[in-house]
Structure 1
Amino acid sequence: MRIDLKGRTALVTGSARGIGAAIAAGPARAGARVAVNGRSTERVQDSVCALEREVPGADVVPVAADVTTEAGAEQVAQALPRMDILVNNLGVFGSADPLRITADEWRRYFEVNVLAAVRLTRLFLPGMAECGWGRVQYIAGDSAIVTPAEMIHYGMSKTALLAVGRGFAKQAAGTGVTVNSVIAGPTHTGGMKDFVHGPVDRGLPWDEAQRAFMREHRPQSLLQRLIEPEEIACMIVCLSSEHASATTGGALRVDGGYVDAILP
């Protein structure tokens, strides 16, 4: 399968680091013009430079804006009047005692993980539909389906994101725009490294530590290791292409078999 995204413009929110940075590199390799987004101008520019080194000749645009606010979302829309591929990757995660976490923290998770994606979808979907082509994607997580007791607030936001994706797919019906969610499993990021080393012996080499974490704390994973961000990016690129024109309204899993179900 040859994927060519030349002539397309893609925005990946929260792409100045972590999974988002890896996702941004995927469309760039396939020839798309890619907008890298984050709140810090300096961090975004650093990420743009890193992506240009990783993908020589890539067409990369820095868009520093806080998309968790109305003003930030509007700023992005003004900077990128035409959008073909919207990847709503921005999100926060962390564990907390479900009986002690504050209402303000619940609201923050919903604002960042759900409403930021809703705002951008509402801004860009009409233009995509008018052009007769577009791709909208939401990065969910296994916690949307298998909610950990210590991350109820996070799981709630990702479950809501699946509903958002399905709903906007119906809104886009017949327009040539596809809308899908990608359910990512436990993924190898800087933040996840800290998460792994919490319950696992810090003296272990990283490869042993991550496998021990998966074996002891995520035993339902069939992959039995953390997923690499590039593996998630591959699904994003495929969904962004012409090859996925009949895939919409779905929740596609890149979870290493973590979710014990045939369907989400």
Structure 2
Amino acid sequence: MSRLSGKNILITGASGGFGKELTKQLLKKGANLILTDMKAPETKPEFYLGESKPVTGKILGSFAADLSNEAGCNKAFQEATKINPNVDILVNNAGLAFMGRLLDVPSEKWKLILDVNLYAPIYLSRLFLPGMLERKHGQIVNLSSCAGITAPGELVYYSVSKFGIRALGEALDSGYRKHGVYTTNVYPFFADTNILKSEQFGTDKQKVVPSAILDTPQMVVRAIVRGMEKRKMHVFPGFTAKMLRFLTRLSPGFLRGMERLAQSFS
């Protein structure tokens, strides 16, 4: 039986690519799910499972919440605990991206990235953590990125948010693992989700990530779920994510050199 069976899990950004796949795979693990996004996600298990055989997991409920401000995060906490007062695992999956260098991205856009990608997980962690500590068990799962390991110039604000999430997770784990609350940080590479269609600034030609190097949401989420089950601190899904981690640790300047080389041919 999975360690996640019977656990009450809140997933933010549940209508996105990773969110839907997390819902599907966690239902198969027997988890009880609470789902949220800008619009209330679907609550019928068959929407996520398709033709899969019946599972023991349940969707306890869903609600709409805007996590771009503290009031929205407070509402998410209230709505989630109304559905079930004991949230065992918080999955900070909601996120967005805009491509552009430091001076290219408009202020309202880069501030939105930080609000949703970084400040919302901080607010939500502060809201749900006291209950976990009181029950002496819990887990916080943070979706960072390979952009939280190395920072491409055209993903500056996204990288700032993901480096911040990396720091948040490491600090949470350092401070609370001994009290029974575990933290898992996840660092996916580019995956085949709608975030690849994000708005781009500072260029007339839309840049496209080659499909040949994209990871699948299914593979990434399998790695996330395994990491949750094993209570791992760091999860690097797939070969590319693991290789990027290895290269940045082996030679921090190597990736910068490769980036400059690529730019010289663009």
Same fold (TM over 0.5): yes
The bucket for the TM-score relative to the shorter chain is 0.7 to 0.9
Which one-letter code corresponds to 1:45 in the other structure?
E
Partners of 1:171 and 1:54 in 2: CA distance? 43
Q: CA deviation at 1:199?
A: 4.3
1:257 counterpart residue number: 240
Alignment partner of 1:129 is 2:133: yes
1:32 counterpart residue number: 31
Contact 2:173 / 2:182 at 8 angstroms: preserved in 1?
Answer: yes
1:174 counterpart residue number: 178
Instruction: Give % identity.
Output: 25
The C-alpha deviation readout for 1:171-200, integer Å capped at 9, x for no partner, is 3131111012100111011342689x9446
Q: 5 Å matches for 1:63-78?
A: 63-78=63-78
Answer with 175-184 or 252-261: which moved more.
252-261
Gapped runs of 5+ residues in structure 2? 200-204, 250-266
Contact 1:12 / 1:37 at 8 angstroms: preserved in 2?
Answer: yes
Which one-letter code corresponds to 2:48 in the other structure?
L
RMSD: 2.6
Alignment partner of 1:143 is 2:128: no
Alignment partner of 1:59 is 2:44: no
The C-alpha deviation readout for 1:139-172, integer Å capped at 9, x for no partner, is 0111112211111111111011101111111231
Contact 2:93 / 2:143 at 8 angstroms: preserved in 1?
Answer: yes
Which one-letter code corresponds to 1:100 in the other structure?
D
2:162 counterpart residue number: 158
Partners of 1:31 and 1:13 in 2: CA distance? 19
Alignment partner of 1:236 is 2:230: no
Are residues 5 and 190 of structure 1, via their aligned partners in 2, closer, same or farther at CA, if it must alter by over 3 Å? same
- Give TM-score, length-normalised by structure 2: 0.78
Partners of 2:20 and 2:48 in 1: CA distance? 8
Gapped runs of 5+ residues in structure 1? 202-208, 212-224
Q: CA deviation at 1:78?
A: 2.1
- Give TM-score, length-normalised by structure 1: 0.79
